[in-house]
Each structure stands twice: as structure tokens, then as C-alpha cells.
Amino acid sequence: MDHARDMLGARDSPEQQLAMLIDSVSDYAIFLLDPGGHVLTWNLGAERNKGYTAAEIIGEHFSIFYPPEGREAGRPAAVLAAAERDGRFEEEGWRVRKDGTRFWANILITAVRDEHGNLLAYGKVTRDLTQLRLAQQELELFASSAAHDLQEPLRTIAGFSELLVRRHAPALPDDAREFLDHIAAAAARMQRLISDLLLYARSGPGEVQRVEVRLANAVGPVLADLHGALSERGLEVAVDVPGDAVVLADEAGTGLLLQNLLSNAVKFADAQEPKVGVSARREGAEWLVAVSDNGPGVPDAHRDRVFEPFTQLRHDEGAGTGLGLSIARRIAERHGGRIGVDSAPGEGSRFWFALPARD
């Protein structure tokens, strides 16, 4: 320990030693932005990661690292607003080097405040994940291909099971009919799993074709798709979504986000007097959409991992595949948005997501 302290310089202050450490890191871009988003400091990792020297970049606005579509959508201002509001902001997305090449990056922005809570700067850490993303894409391509290949034999199993029941049911003993029912039910569950696996693979990181999506219009088709489940439960969803709630997002992805959260809420709402609501409110550069229910709530032990793949809060026949919330999270993050849950056991759940607002 004494030797390490001597190497760093016994007379250096802790602040100077920390600055020396940050300057020497080469795998991560670590730098400060002023409250307006201009670069204040620049380490070796930032130069290696983005291609600019300190002399070239200090004083420039950090929006220079965004691709044109990101700047046009107002992403630089949106992420700073989110970091100021929440204390931190994290996302993955395309960024641009000095030479114009793009790389897939993990970005963490943290608001730096003084003892009185005044915003002094933003700390920004960027990591190049391009190779990891390529490997992930290969894995997702394999999963998608395998899922497609499994669909045909499953359809064959389900089809012949149905034919046996329809043509030979009277001649079959009771236990044989029961076995066929089990086969048909298992094939149906496997089909749902395959469909969800395909959605999960397709909802991974990638370019998003953003259009203006009016949230009130997106809710209607989702409720129509859920009409059977709503009627079965005698449930009418309370909708409080302003007409001016417009996000810049993929239309199909927005619909799937709502579909997954609403179908979950309908499934978990109170058995005797079910209540489900969907609402939206503007928060800075985002619209926050919340779907609430009056069900049993999410147990404390599950709250941190409820968005992880194959996590299930129920294990009965209607429990689903455990991928719905994982798909929702991937869609939200793919848009540079956020997703979360506020819940307490016995007090229902409020699942929410935030997407970039149209200016």
C-alpha cells in the first residue's frame, strides 16, 4: 500500500490522484460536460474511443457524438434532462467517431451537484460495445432461425392431434382422449413460447424507424385485441391519455409495449372487482405512460428481476412464457426510453414506460 502511494505521489491530493486514474483509463471514455452539454475534460479512453484529441473537443457540444437522426430527434437535450431529473441516465445506441464511423455504445450520464443541490456538471462514461452487439445479433439470429424451424413440426403435431379427436373420438377410450388433450395443450404452450422468442429476438438493439405516434390512437387497437379477455372478466379499462400525447417511436413497437403491459394488468387485476387503467403525462422531453391494476402487487423479492427473461409471478396454466415484460423492456430501451414498476404487495402494480416526446 505504501509503495502504491509513493508511486502515485505522496504529496498529491486524493482529487489529483483520482484525476490521474481517470486520465489513464483507456477502455472507457470518461469526461465531464458543463450544464449546457459542452465538453470540459477528456481522458485517454475518450480520445481512443471517439478519435478526438482534448484540444479538438474541449468546448464543443456533446451532440457532436450523435448521428444526424439522433440530433434531429432531440436526443442530446432529452438525455441531459433525464439525468438532471433522475440523477442518472443510461442507454445504448449508435454514436459517431471523428472519422464518421459509427459504434454501438453504452452511455451513462450522472448529474454532479454541490452540497446545496445546484447542478455543476454531468459526468459521462461511454463504452464501445460494438463487438458484443455483433455477437448478440448472431445469437438472436440463431434463436430466430431455430424458432422458425420449430414452428412447422409443432403445427403438424397440433394438426394430427386435432384430426384424431375429430375423426376417431367415439372409438377412443377415455384415457386416450385425455392424452390427446395433453398433447394439444403442450403444443399450444410451445407455440406461444416460440412466438414470444421470435418477438424477443426482434426487439433487441437496432435502428428504430421513428414516426409520430399519437398514444391515444395506439391504445384503441390494443383494447380491441384484448376485447375477449376484458369481456370475460367484465372489465372496462379506464383511459386517461391526452390527445396531444405524441411520441417519436416505432408504431408497432409502441403498440406491443402497450399490449404487453395491458394484458399483464388484465391478467393480474383483482379477481372479484378488477380495475385497470392506462394514463399518460408529459415529463420534460418524454411522455410517461402508466398501466395500473388493483391486483396482488409484485413481491419485493421479484421487483428487481421482473423484467428479466422467463421470470414468472404465476405458475398456473395462464401464466404465459415469462417473456412479455422482457420484450417490453427491450422495446423501450431500443427507443432510448425507460421502463419500470411501482408496486407493493397487496396494493396493486403500476408499470410504466417513457418514450421521447415530439417537440
Local confidence band at 298 (pLDDT 50, 70, 90 cut-offs): confident
- Reduced to 3 states (helix: H, G, I; strand: E, B; else coil), residue 28 is coil
Q: Which of 284, 308, 255 lies closest to 89 in space, CA to CA? A: 284
pLDDT number for residue 190 = 74
For the ranges 122-126, 186-190, 324-328, which has the lowest average pLDDT?
A: 186-190
- In this prediction, residues 109-136 reach a mean pLDDT of 89
pLDDT number for residue 95 = 94
pLDDT number for residue 244 = 92
221-266: pLDDT as tens digits: 889 888 888 988 889 999 999 999 999 888 888 888 898 899 889 9
The cell for 259 is 399490449
Looking at per-residue confidence, does 204 or 33 come out higher? 33
Please tell me the distance from the alpha carbon of residue 53 to that of residue 261, in angstroms, as a whole number.
Answer: 46
pLDDT number for residue 73 = 82
E strands, the chain, in order: 29-33, 88-96, 102-113, 119-128, 211-214, 238-240, 246-249, 276-283, 286-293, 338-343, 349-356
Local confidence band at 53 (pLDDT 50, 70, 90 cut-offs): very high
Local confidence band at 143 (pLDDT 50, 70, 90 cut-offs): low
pLDDT surpasses 70 at 215: yes
- In this prediction, residues 72-101 reach a mean pLDDT of 90
- Give yes or no for a contact between 122 and 33, defined as CB atoms under 8 angstroms apart: yes
pLDDT number for residue 323 = 74
Please tell me the distance from the alpha carbon of residue 110 to that of residue 322, in angstroms, as a whole number.
Answer: 32
Please tell me the distance from the alpha carbon of residue 34 to that of residue 282, in angstroms, as a whole number.
Answer: 26
Sheet of strand 88-96, all strands in order from the earlier edge strand to the far edge: 29-33, 119-128, 102-113, 88-96
- Reduced to 3 states (helix: H, G, I; strand: E, B; else coil), residue 150 is helix
